A and B are shown apart, each in its own frame.
Chain A
Amino acid sequence: MKEEYDIIIVGGGPAGSTSAFYAASKGVKVLLLDKRRDIGFPVRCAEGVGEAGLKEFMEPDPRWAVNKISTFRLVAPDGSKVTLKERECCYILDRRVFDYMLAGMAAEKGTEIMTRMYANGIIMEDGNVKGVTAEYLGKKFSIRSKIVIGADGVESRVGRWCGIKSNTILRDIESCAQVTISSKRIDSSFSDFYFGKNIAPGGYAWVFPKNKYIANVGVGISGIYSKNKSPLVYLDEFLKNHFPDASILTRIAGGIPCASPLNKIVNNGLMLVGDAAHQANPITGGGIINAMKAGRIAGRIAAEAVIKGDVTEKMLKKYPQEWNNSVGEINKRCYRIKKVVFRLSDRTLNRLARVLSEIPPEKLTLKDIFISALKKYPPIVIDAIKVFK
């Protein structure tokens, strides 16, 4: 490890590794730090991604894209099921392999990667970020850089060290519990989403099959509800009702900032990407592809800033501008939709499901579903039309 780099990236998830890949591709010196022993482990993710987003970056590889699903079931509180066959399929990933592969690609472009390196502070000089302080196996380090990219996930502190209010408010944090199970009741051809106040208030429960016998089953609930009953309890109840034969292979906790995009994600010498910048889809909580899209923009612009010798906030603002034009505006609309959808009563959801379940799956789209659900809220219908084209 050197004492100085052009860019230091804190966090080796999809946002960090993608930022590193695109920055290092431009020939600048990049260091990626991760506090974990292993990149990609432990996995804190339901592991689903959309096909179109994934293919912007790479072709799916069976080593990490372990299941392909094109039929989805939305299950109402009374058990009524709406089935839809989307034009775009989704892949269930093996994140441990996927994240390793992304980090490997960044390293192949010249990124230095250090695991077990815990960034515990920022070096600030005259209002400019100039590197990080870190600990590695009990030793303390100061590592200087022209730019720091905070890709440190839901638990991000990098932005807050630099005065950016990146904490998540209680209503917008999805508190999640997930198990990977083995069960004879898994149907590997469907992804299922369950809704209802007694199943996952302010969120949903999911079943994402990895193969015929193994699936990720989880519950995410809004922080305002987890105060009364934790997602772990909701998950145990869900398993008892739907997979009583399940053997639990992994049990994890996690969280997703399902929030409106942060207004400020850059500062002099600083950029935030991925969950650290609240870039996950506020409705679904899906964050992998958005993180990679943000990383692609941030990595390129960071490298250009270094090459030009201008790492001021004014220069780095090109990143949020590009992000907002591509995904940020969609996320703002999704946030407004989310605030209405997760307030719908169980009775309304049951009625909707009964009506929509009569439409053949191949004729039903997500747009139809959201327009039906939101017809009492005309401004939000417009948001739904723009989001689900």
Chain B
Amino acid sequence: MIYLIEERCDYCGVCVSVCVPNVIELKETSIKILDGCTNCKLCIYVCPFEAIKENERRV
């Protein structure tokens, strides 16, 4: 599962841009990963601040 380290997140939206199933919901200062995540890890790869990980705290 994909988890977010909130303290690192800058809410920039790069993860949303690469998310193929379109399941990342980004508001001004909050992110939710909705049902349908395929665990492809693209969001982990592109996050500029390394804020998305596997097996960390769940969003």
Contacts and interface: CB of A to CB of B under 8 A. Distances in A.
Given A168-B17, A170-B18, A230-B49, A254 B12 contact: yes
Interface in B1-47: 10, 12-14, 16-20, 22, 25-28, 42, 45-47
A37 B27 CA distance: 11
B10 A253 contact: yes
Contacts of B25: 120
A201 B38 CA distance: 28
B29 to A, nearest CB: 9
A255 to B, nearest CB: 3
B14 A254 contact: yes
A118 interface: yes
A167 B42 CA distance: 11
A173 B17 contact: yes
A350 interface: no
A159 to B, nearest CB: 10
A153 B18 contact: no
Nearest to A227: B45
B54 to A, nearest CB: 14
Contacts of A156: 16-17
Contacts of A37: 28
A: interface residue count bin: 20 to 34
Contacts of B27: 35, 118
A255 B50 contact: no
B48 A255 contact: yes
Contacts of B14: 154-155, 173, 175-176, 253-255
A29 to B, nearest CB: 26
A226 interface: yes
A197 interface: no
A155 B28 contact: no
B50 to A, nearest CB: 5
A153 B47 CA distance: 16
Contacts of A297: none
A177 interface: yes
Contacts of A249: none
B28 A175 contact: no
A253 B49 contact: yes
Contacts of B42: 170, 223
Contact of A167 (B12, B22, B49): B22
Contact of A232 (B26, B45, B46, B50): B50
A35 B22 contact: no
Contacts of B26: 155
Given A154-B13, A253-B10, A254-B12, A173 B49 contact: no
A72 to B, nearest CB: 25
A155 B48 contact: no
Identify the interface centre among B14, B17, B27, B46: most chain A CB within 10 Å of its CB: B17
A253 B18 contact: no
Contact of A169 (B12, B18, B28, B49): B18
A253 B48 contact: yes
Contacts of B17: 154-156, 167-168, 173, 255, 257
Given A167-B17, A223-B18, A253-B12, 12 more contacts: A35-B28, A116-B28, A155-B13, A170-B45, A173-B17, A176-B48, A230-B48, A230-B49, A232-B48, A232-B49, A232-B50, A255-B12
12 contacts: A154-B17, A156-B17, A169-B18, A170-B42, A170-B46, A173-B14, A175-B48, A176-B14, A252-B10, A253-B12, A254-B48, A255-B17
Interface of A: 35-37, 44, 116, 118, 120, 153-157, 160-161, 167-170, 173, 175-177, 223, 226-227, 230-232, 252-255, 257
